[in-house]
Chain A
Amino acid sequence: MSALKRFDQTGVPLLLARLVLGGMFIYMGWAKIFDPVDFLKLIREYRMFPDGGFFLLNLTAVVLPWIEVLCGVLLILGVGLRGSALLLLVMLVGFTIVVAVRAIGIYQAQDIAFCAIKFDCGCGAGEQNICLKLPENVGLSLLALMVLVSRSQRFCLRRELAGLRTGTASS
């Protein structure tokens, strides 16, 4: 067994990744839930849907924050870990692409240094610098990937519950 595998089996890296990723998504999702109109206006700026696609736009504004919070809670609890991580990874890749495309558009239109670009990307943390936002998204994507590939099941509620049912609960 390689050192990396042994380290993974301790469950500590997975736990840290779950806490950071889950905590971030609960925080970011929660911030959007209480002001759906504000979030709706922000995601409209990406022009992702064609004219007449307002139903999809509204649906995204209503549902996306709850999916983020739900994934965050499941990650922290350790239930449905890999499904949640894959869903977050897919969303993160999508978010990163649309944020980068918008930043490039601003860069071309305003003729300012790329790292001077700041805007509220609708991510739940207000106005952010693009040169901080993109690495942050890459970091979160790596954490999601880490949860996805980890073989450890330690500190996971689902495993503990399964253990209780079979009478083999372990630490």
Chain B
Amino acid sequence: MKELKRVLKELGLVAVVGLVLGLAINAVNDDGLALGHNYFPQGRVDATQPASQPVSVGGQESSMAQVEPVVNGANQVDPWVQVVLDAGLQVMSQDQVVDAYHDPAYEVGEHVFVDARNDDLYQEGHIPGAYQFDHYFAERYIDRILPACLAAQKVIVYCEGGECEDSRFAAFDLLECGVDMGKVFVYVGGIKAWKKSGLAIEIGERLSGKMTTEYELE
């Protein structure tokens, strides 16, 4: 019994030292986490716009059935599109994203692309002209991107694509910062779908001018 007490005392001591060490280093780490911050917001942002009703896509009324990608031709919505719709957000299909990119409105800042991936992935290649917004470190980017998003007519947020959820979380952050819900769209296909279409990506910083269509497809 005495031995067990001693072992449990050791265990408690190790756990407490680990706890203090972890918290102390997190506090001084630039890449540390904010313990009280919910990095994975889930809830519907506007209950008055249920996903099952027509949503505004590309400035026109559109129903979920028009949302791509669609599986097996039976008007079955991609599950990751459904997740975004269920969260109360709007989506943009591949064609609509490409149209928005080639629209002259993009040149004058009325359409804004927001890349919700981390710095390494953004630097490897992003949609030309897209702003970076790694929502886990929102404070680093928000001052730069918020004026552009507030002034834009359409804000298209993307990440890797498919099961990647960061575009959804970044969209929530933008809505919280006052960007109008009606103009925020999630591009569910993400950079993977963009590359699959053979479109150019920009390497390095935003507006670096280093464009390429030579990249690996996953």
Residues of A within 8 A of B (CB): 33-37, 40, 44, 51, 54-55, 58-59, 61-67, 70-71, 74, 80, 82-84, 86-87, 148
CB of B53 within 8 Å of the partner chain:
no
Q: Cβ of B19 and Cβ of A63 under 8 Å apart?
A: yes
Q: How far is the CB of A81 from chain B (nearest CB, A)?
A: 8
Question: Once bound together, how far apart are the Cα atoms of A37 and B134, in whole Å?
Answer: 11
Chain B: interface residue count, which band?
A: 20 to 34
Residue on A nearest B21 in the bound complex, by CB: A66
Residues of B contacting A70 in the complex (Cβ-Cβ under 8 angstroms): 14, 17-18, 21
**Bound CA span A40–B37, Å:** 12
CB <8 Å contact, A51 and B22: no
Residues of B within 8 A of A55 (CB): 35-36
B8 nearest CB across to chain A (Å): 7
Contact A84 B14 (CB under 8 A): yes
CB distance from A85 to the nearest CB of B (A): 9
Q: What residues of chain A lie closer than 8 Å to B25, measured between beta carbons? A: 33, 66
Which B residues are within 8 Å of any A CB, using their own CB? 6-15, 17-19, 21-23, 25-26, 29, 31-40, 42, 118, 136
For the complex, what is the distance from the CA of A58 to the CA of B31, rounded to whole Å?
13
Question: Quick one: which of A55, A83, A148 has the most chain B CB within 10 A?
Answer: A83
| Residue from B11, B15, B21, B37 within 8 A of A58 (CB atoms) | B37
Which partner residue on chain B sits nearest A71 by CB separation? B14
Q: Please tell me if the beta carbons of A80 and B14 are within 8 angstroms of each other in the complex.
A: yes
State which of B9, B26, B36 has its C-beta within 8 Å of the C-beta of A36: B26
Contact of B23 among A33, A62, A83, A86 (CB under 8 A): A62
Nearest-CB residue, chain B, relative to A29 = B18
Cα–Cα, bound, A86→B23 (Å): 22
A63 lies within 8 A of B18 (CB): yes
Complex CA–CA separation, A82 to B6 (angstroms): 9
Contact B14 A83 (CB under 8 A): yes
How far is it, in angstroms, between the C-alpha of A74 and the C-alpha of B136 when the chains are bound?
Answer: 33
